[in-house]
Amino acid sequence: MAISIESATSPFAELLALRDSIYLLVAPFWIEVCFIICFVLGFAVLRFDDFFSFRKSVKGEKKKKVVDDHHFHPIANPRLQQVVDKKADSKTILGVWHAAKAKVPTSPQLLRVVVQAMIEEQSKSLITDLMRHIRAHPGAMANSRTAVVALDVLARAGRIDSMTQFLRELREEFGVHPSSSMFEVMLGGYATAGDEAMVSKVMQDMKKSRAALTPRGLSLCIKGFLKNGKVDAVVKKFREMKDFGFQIPPFAVTQLVRIACEAARGREVFEAISTVATLSPEATSQLLEDCVKSNDLLLAKRIEETARSQEVVLTTGAYDALLKLHTMSADPRAMDLFEEMQASSAARISEGLCVGLLARCAEVKFLKFAEEIVKYCRGSGAMTISTYSALMKVYAYCNMYDKACDLYDQICQDGLKPDAVMYGCLMKFAVECGRTQLSQHLSESAPTLDIQNYMSLIRAAGRDKDVKRAFEILERLRSSGVHIDVAAFNCVLDVCVSAGDIKRAQNLMTEMKTLKLVDVITYNTLLKGYCQQGELAKGKALLLEMKRSGHPPNDVSYNCLINAAVCSGDGDLSLAWETIEMMEKSGVEVDHYTISIMMKALKKARDSSDVARAMALLDKSGIEVLSDEILLNTVLETCTRHRETQRLEAILTSYSNSSLQCSVHTYGALIKAASTLKKLSLCWSLWREMEEDRALEPNEIVLGCMLDALVTNRQIESAVQLLGKWKQRLPANMVMYSTIMKGFANTHQADRALKMWKEMLAEKIRLNIVVYNAVIDAQARVGAMENVSEIVSQMEQDGVKPDVISLSTIVKGYCIKGDVEAAFRVFREMQNNGMVKDSIVYNTLLDGCTRNNRFDMADSLLEDMEANHIRPTNFTMGILVKMWGRRRQLDKAFEALATLPTKHGFVPNTQVKTCLISACINNGAVEEAFEVLDSIKKAGYGVEAKVYSAMVNGLVRQGELDKAVALLVEAHGLRGGRPQLAPGGWIEADAIEKLAHGLAQRGLGEKVGVPLLDQLRAAKVPISSRAYTSVLGPCRSSQNGDRYENGVGKGNGNDGSERRDSEARNNGRRSSRPFRSS
């Protein structure tokens, strides 16, 4: 029995064991298992209804398919097929169709033809007839295939209303719902009609019916919108295609770009599609050509970059546009593009392209690229008369008339024959460069001569000042039968004036009046003759005659008289200003020539009021300085000469932002201006732009300006290297050598100056007085007077006589050496020889007496100046201020400043006021020093750095550290204020170091010194490491910090400031301070 029970329970025990095993196995995963079971049950419940509906739909589709298959094979309509095959007219096709439409359904292929025929015949019952035919054969025709065919024909024909009506009736009557193909046709139809709202509605219907949006559907939308010029809608569809991952058709990109460029929206569309679509080669070319129209090089560069990143092949049109744009900006990349175009198989370089590029090179004086184009043309045998003519134009625009004339021989060597226009141009260029024999040869070689050719020959005679030949050419012109106009007579009249034959000019003028061949140019030419002869009274009388004769003076007339006034003698500025007033009263506007003349006149001006008046005239005229190269040169030279630093800064900034392509001479003026502003990096930038980018070769003047800029900015080694590099290609002149020697003198390298002088002698270079004066100055500055004796001896051997500058420099050398008596001996010798006519030597001696504390000799020298009526200058004034400051007679310094400038007609400059500031501080008159500084600020041109440097140095010496710090902050605008320093200037590093050292001694290094230096460095003020070393030195005591906070540097009685204040007051300086009035 036990056995039976055990056998009965054994399977149950096994089940329990199995359950336990399963439980132990599943226990760690029971949460996941429950989740999977619930998910399966939920999915089954949710999809239960769909399962039955799916089965129904499958049955329905099968049933429908059976019906369609049963009815879709209509009995053929052979008659209609024959008519269609014979390409019968629409009327015949419709007749055959109407005859059989009730009996036989129409196949989709024939239905397309029938619907098109209805449209062509403008059938008013199109939809009605179509629906009747479908009703007659619903099994075969009430389907989406028929609908697609009919809708497509209607959409292409623009019958949007009919398309909408047919679709509605088909759906309502037969339950035909749109398929994907139908939706595509609808999208294309509504887009072709330009109906953006309906396109959006169709897309919403597609989304509701779960119809997929296909690339074809979007392409049809884009094509339709393009047809209507819907740029924004097309861009939107482009984005949608991108979002769906579809490829945008290249034709669409090309068409969109074309439409956008026609609507002046090229930039906007490029910005919109550059990250969406791949540019086609045609679209790239179209965009770049649009950039040419707007001269937008920056946009063109972006388009090129995008095209290259998308691996678009650049076509001829793309290269053409890029080359034109880069050429018009004189961008060196044009040469790289041209070289790339030569290697490209997709682009072809034509003669027209080369000629067009050469013409653009002429406009911007891009000589380097022009020569590259010609090199290609020569290599490919494509040098034609058109190419030579364009190259000739390049040389002419660059004022290289000699090279333009040299092309004539090359043209003849190539077997080409110049045309009449080229002959005329060559004759004109030959006249410009003085090759009168060539002009004569050209006149004999030319097949025919027109009046312009004769006038060129007359001008050639004018260059030779050959009045007789000019009249002979005039007689040849008269006998040639060519009609003579007033211009030819004016040319001959100009020859008379150029040769100074006023009498012959007056006789010709009388003849011209008889022939009634007189115009305003005739009068202006004769006026020029009077002005050249200095007969200004006759010139003014001629202006009155012009008014009476009905030829009122123009801007040329007035400018001619103004120029004559400023060029006569010492320059009659009063007559020039009087003529300008007459000009304005007559309603003739001041032009850039007027401004240029007045700027040129300021070279001789001593009165600063004339400078201010000329600058005001420039501002009043509203003329842009960069609009004319001559004007730019004269304004730059004037501002450089008169230290108009703010205006120079503005001009250089405008130039850097402009596209002006200036000549070599103008680069010299720009470099000189940048040097005045101490912007050596800009000097180098201009030099490289001229030499490398523009391929212009510097002349002696420009090289001299660059050497002077380097020397002035204490880059003497760079100057020596530059001269060594160029003197083989450009013969060095005496100005260049003297500039280098000036650099040696400034850096006290007298031995190098002497060595260069001896090398020049060994090379048998004939030296002039300028070089001798430079080498004497180098020796005199270090007191090496024994070398000066050797140099003077060599001067006598070379036949170079010492001038006033030579002897003045020798006087300076003796003063530096401390031998004032020897300096006076040389001075007396100069007086005996009548060489002392101005204050130059007096200034040198006065400075020497002051430096060597020989005030007795200085007093006698001042008496000598007064007795000999020597007019003092600002330099004299500065020396006097220094002298009276050293003698502790500050009142006399102020007195001299108040009287001498007024008496002798000059205005104290910044240098004089700087000397006065130093004198005031050295004499403990800090308040007066600040008054002088305020007067400089009121001038409104910015305070020069050396003024502030002198103030800071003086205040540090006096222990006025708080005021020194305040000045430093004020000068550089460190705490939100406007900087008071002139542009490009900063307080000297030495002054900052001394202030830092003073702050460290007061225990203010960490608290005041370090933050101050950090602020200066943030303002990009040069700070030496020694300044930080000084300011971080050991602090004396914390007590000094408290004193600074309470007003540091007020004077503690130990620095002598109170004693100097007392002495100054005892001298009565406060009772007579005429500075403000002066």
456, 427 Cβ separation under 8 angstroms:
yes
Query: 113 φ, ψ to 5°?
Result: -70, -40
Residue with tokens 């388009």: 303
Rounded to two decimals, the pTM is 0.51
- Longest Cα–Cα distance in the chain: 168
Q: 863-866 long-range contacts, Cβ below 8 Å, gap at least 24?
A: 865/839
DSSP string, 380-395: TT---HHHHHHHHHHH
- Side chain identity at residue 535, one-letter code: E
Q: Which helix (H) or strand (E) holds 820?
A: helix 820-832
Query: 32 φ, ψ to 5°?
Result: -65, -40
CB neighbours (10 Å) of residue 49? 9
**3-state DSSP assignment of residue 984:** coil
- Label residues 250-270 b or e (16+ Cβ within 10 Å = b): eebbbbbbbbbbeeebbbebb
* Adjacent-strand bridge partners of 943: 981
Structure letter (DSSP) for residue 813: H
902/921 Cα distance (integer angstroms): 25
pLDDT of residue 226: 80
Residue 357's closest CA among 368, 343, 345, 346? Answer: 368
DSSP string, 270-332: HHHHTTTSPPPHHHHHHHHHHHHHHT-HHHHHHHHHHHHHTTPPP-HHHHHHHHHHHHHTT-T
CA 719 to chain centre: 28
- Side chain identity at residue 1032, one-letter code: L
Burial of 118 (0-12, 13-18, 19+ CB in 10 A): buried
Task: Tell how many helices (H) and how many strands (E) occur in the chain.
Answer: 61, 0
80, 93 Cβ separation under 8 angstroms:
yes
Low-confidence residues in the chain, pLDDT < 70: 1-35, 38-40, 42-76, 447-448, 570, 604-608, 939-942, 983-984, 1033-1078
Please provide the size of the chain in residues. Answer: 1078
66/385 Cα distance (integer angstroms): 82
pLDDT of residue 692: 84
Q: Which helix (H) or strand (E) holds 596?
A: helix 592-601
Q: Quick: pLDDT tens for 730-770.
A: 877 888 888 888 888 888 888 988 888 888 888 888 888 88
621/589 Cα distance (integer angstroms): 8
**3-state DSSP assignment of residue 102:** coil
CB neighbours (10 Å) of residue 761? 14
408, 418 Cβ separation under 8 angstroms:
yes
- Side chain identity at residue 585, one-letter code: K
329, 364 Cβ separation under 8 angstroms:
yes
Q: Output Rg (C-alpha) for the chain, integer angstroms.
A: 47
186/147 Cα distance (integer angstroms): 11
CB neighbours (10 Å) of residue 292? 17
Angle subtended by helix axes 367-379 and 351-364, to nearest 10: 160
**3-state DSSP assignment of residue 732:** coil
Query: 177 φ, ψ to 5°?
Result: -95, 150
| Contacts (Cβ under 8 Å, ≥6 apart) of 956 | 964, 991, 994, 995, 998
Residue 524's closest CA among 599, 574, 598, 588? Answer: 588
896, 881 Cβ separation under 8 angstroms:
yes
* Adjacent-strand bridge partners of 647: none
560, 528 Cβ separation under 8 angstroms:
yes
884/668 Cα distance (integer angstroms): 41
Structure letter (DSSP) for residue 553: -
528/513 Cα distance (integer angstroms): 18
Burial of 474 (0-12, 13-18, 19+ CB in 10 A): buried
DSSP string, 904-952: HT----HHHHHHHHHHHHHTT-HHHHHHHHHHHHHTSS-B-HHHHHHHH
527/540 Cα distance (integer angstroms): 9
Query: 879 φ, ψ to 5°?
Result: -65, -40
Residue 209's closest CA among 241, 239, 238, 176? Answer: 176
496/504 Cα distance (integer angstroms): 6
The CA–CA distances, whole Å, from 420 to 436, 441, 885, 1032 equal 19, 14, 77, 82
57/586 Cα distance (integer angstroms): 98
The dihedral formed by the CA atoms of 197, 200, 201 and 206, expressed in degrees to the nearest 10: 160
618, 612 Cβ separation under 8 angstroms:
no
81/94 Cα distance (integer angstroms): 12
| Contacts (Cβ under 8 Å, ≥6 apart) of 457 | 427, 439, 440, 443, 473
